[in-house]
């Protein structure tokens, strides 16, 4: 179904399908395409309103009876690592980061497959082949980088972790990350977020965008462990406060119709 505000772009909504995060619920997404010369401006504007990019589209959950999915970001200026996060930093101090263009490699895909087989064997990406993986990495109309992490020791060290990252006007957005499942004890997912906070701080960018946080979902619980975390709720960014305060049910009648949601979206000025 298509919904169009007073000016382009056009917005569409997907049909409901089973929610991957909360059992027994259905998800629906509001999305639009990123095309043309304004793709970067549109991605920046919509990211500030809780949207996320996947290849050449940006989307935001727009479910019929639930608002559990909330975009999350870290205020870089105010962030201080916890004691356990400082241990993660020390444990992975031997890793070095290499930033590359958004180009997929067989080595990345091999690591990606091992990660999925171990961590998300029944997830939506479980059947992704190398061509679909390349599309995920390479089909981007905005500023995107791939960050590879390897041991510092010598050349030829295998990949430990990879993160696909968008460079926004106001921050770094982690689009997708994966790591060596044999190193699960090293907390490489947390490490990559901490490294992106450091990169954003060095670049003078105020935020690191983490994607969606879903209260009640074990898969997403780790995001609430980061200090200076904000969530996009009720159309505004706010401190997360106590995570358990966001687990309440939402009555279907309290959710605005799609047309009203689209009407409140702020688009970049011409």
The residue among 148, 150, 180 whose CA lies nearest residue 164 is 148
Digit-coded pLDDT (tens) for 208-225: 999 999 988 888 889 999
Digit-coded pLDDT (tens) for 96-133: 999 999 999 999 999 999 999 887 656 567 688 999 99
pLDDT of residue 252: 62
pLDDT of residue 257: 85
pLDDT of residue 265: 93
- Domains plus CATH for the chain? 82-204 (3.40.630.30)
Concatenating the DSSP letter of every residue in 58-111 gives EEEE--SS----EEEEEEGGG----HHHHHHHHHTTTEEEEEE-S---HHHHHH
* 68 upstream amide cis, omega within 30 of 0: no
pLDDT of residue 4: 52
Measured CA angle at 65 (ends 6, 5), to 5 deg: 5
Measured CA angle at 143 (ends 184, 51), to 5 deg: 70
The pTM of the full predicted model, rounded to 2 decimals, is 0.91
Question: Alpha-carbon torsion 145, 146, 150, 156, what sign?
Answer: negative
Other beta carbons within 10 Å of 225: 13
Please, what are the averages of pLDDT over each run of 10 residues along the chain (270 residues)?
61 92 89 93 96 96 88 98 97 95 96 87 73 96 97 82 98 97 95 98 98 89 95 94 81 77 88
pLDDT of residue 6: 44
3-state secondary structure at position 221: helix
């Amino acid at each position: 179904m298509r919904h169009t505000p007073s000016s382009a772009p056009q917005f569409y909504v997907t049909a409901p399908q089973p929610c991957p995060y909360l059992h027994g619920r259905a998800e629906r997404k509001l999305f639009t395409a990123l095309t043309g010369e304004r793709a970067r401006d549109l991605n920046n504007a919509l990211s500030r309103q809780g949207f996320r990019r996947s290849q050449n589209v940006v989307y935001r959950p727009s479910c019929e009876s639930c608002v559990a999915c909330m975009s999350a970001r870290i205020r870089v200026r105010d962030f201080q690592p916890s004691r356990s996060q400082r241990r993660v930093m020390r444990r992975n101090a031997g890793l070095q980061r290499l930033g590359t263009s958004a180009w997929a490699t067989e080595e990345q895909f091999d690591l990606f497959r091992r990660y999925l087989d171990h961590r998300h064997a029944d997830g939506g990406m479980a059947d992704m082949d190398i061509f679909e993986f390349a599309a995920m990495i390479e089909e981007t109309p905005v500023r995107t980088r791939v960050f590879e992490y390897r041991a510092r020791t010598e050349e030829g060290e295998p990949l430990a972790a990879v993160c696909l990252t968008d460079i926004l006007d106001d921050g770094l957005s982690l689009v997708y990350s994966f790591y060596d499942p044999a190193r699960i004890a090293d907390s490489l997912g947390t490490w990559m977020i901490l490294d992106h906070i450091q990169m954003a701080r060095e670049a003078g960018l105020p935020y690191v965008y983490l994607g969606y946080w879903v209260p009640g979902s074990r898969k997403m619980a780790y995001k609430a462990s980061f200090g200076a975390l904000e969530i996009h709720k009720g159309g505004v960014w706010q401190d997360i406060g106590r995570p358990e305060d966001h687990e309440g049910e939402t009555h279907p009648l309290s959710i605005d119709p799609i047309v009203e949601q689209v009407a409140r979206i702020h688009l970049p000025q011409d």
